[in-house]
Amino acid sequence: MTILQPFKTEIDLKTGVFTPETGIIKRYLSQMRSMFADTDAVERILADEGDRLLYEVYVTKLPEEAGQILHCTTIIHPGKIGSEFHMTKGHYHARREEGEVYLGLSGDGCLVMQTQEGATDVQFMKPGTAAYVPPYWAHRTVNIGEAPFVFFAAWAGDAGHDYGTIERDGFRKLIVDAGGRVEVTDNPKYR
C-alpha cells in the first residue's frame, strides 16, 4: 500500500467552502425530480424559474478504500418544493455495516434516517450538533431554516454509496412546513 502524504483543507465554518477547492458536487432540482412528494410543484418550479440548485458538497480527494476517513462539507440552500424542505438525495452505504458522523457548522437542519427493517429516526441539528448515523441506517439531511444549512461529515473510505434503493423506495418520513411549523410526516409515496 502507498503511504499517503498528510494534508489539510481550510474550511470556512460559516459557508462550508473548502480552500484549496477540491471537488464540488452540485445537485439541482432536475436531478431529484421524482424525490419530492409534490411532483406538480417540482414541474411548476422547473417551468417557471428554471432549474434550482438545492445543495453542494465539497469533497476531499482521497482514495475510496478501506482505512481512509473520507470527509466533506455539505451546504443545503434554504427553500421548499411545495411544503417539503430542500434536502439531499440520501443513501444507504453500499457496505451497510459502515457508519458516519455529522457535525453541524451553520444553520438549522435535520438528519432523517431509516433502516431496511422499518425503523425511522430524525435528529435535529444546529451548529455544534454531532449527529451519529450508526451502521445500517440510510441517511438524508434537510434544511429546515432560512439560511444555508452547513455540516461536516466523516465516513470510512470503503463504505460506498447506494443511492438506487432510496431513488426507488424513497424515505418513510418527510420533513414539511406545516404553516410555519416543522413537521415529520409519513411519505404517502413510500413503498
Q: Quick one: DSSP state of residue 156?
A: E
Return the number of the residue (13 or 46) whose C-beta is nearest a copy of itself. 13
φ, ψ of residue 168 in degrees (nearest 5): -80, -45
Contact with a copy of itself (CB under 8 A) among 24, 25, 69, 147: 69
> Which of 33-41, 46-54, 152-160, 183-191 is the region at the interface with a copy of itself (rule: CB under 8 A)?
152-160
Binding mask 105-144 for a copy of itself (x = CB under 8 A): ------x-x-x-x-x-x-x-x-xxxxxxxxxxx-------
- Comparing CA positions, the residue from 87, 56, 90, 89 lying closest to residue 175 is 87
> Which three three-digit cell numbers place residue 80?
421548499
Contact 150/106 with Cβ under 8 angstroms? yes
Binding mask 87-106 for a copy of itself (x = CB under 8 A): ----------xxxxx-x---
Strand order from edge to edge, sheet including 138-143: 120-125, 109-114, 138-143
Q: How many CA atoms lie within 13 A of 129 on its CB side?
A: 18
- Comparing CA positions, the residue from 57, 61, 76, 53 lying closest to residue 20 is 61
Nearest distance from residue 11's CB to a copy of itself, in Å?
Answer: 5
24 binds a copy of itself (CB under 8 A): no
Nearest distance from residue 177's CB to a copy of itself, in Å?
Answer: 22
Contact 67/73 with Cβ under 8 angstroms? no
Return the number of the residue (71 or 80) whose C-beta is nearest a copy of itself. 71
165 binds a copy of itself (CB under 8 A): no
Nearest distance from residue 38's CB to a copy of itself, in Å?
Answer: 27
> Which three three-digit cell numbers place residue 69?
476517513
Residues lying near a copy of itself in the complex (CB under 8 A) are found at: 1, 3-13, 60, 62, 66-69, 71, 97-101, 103, 111, 113, 115, 117, 119, 121, 123, 125, 127-137, 152, 154-157
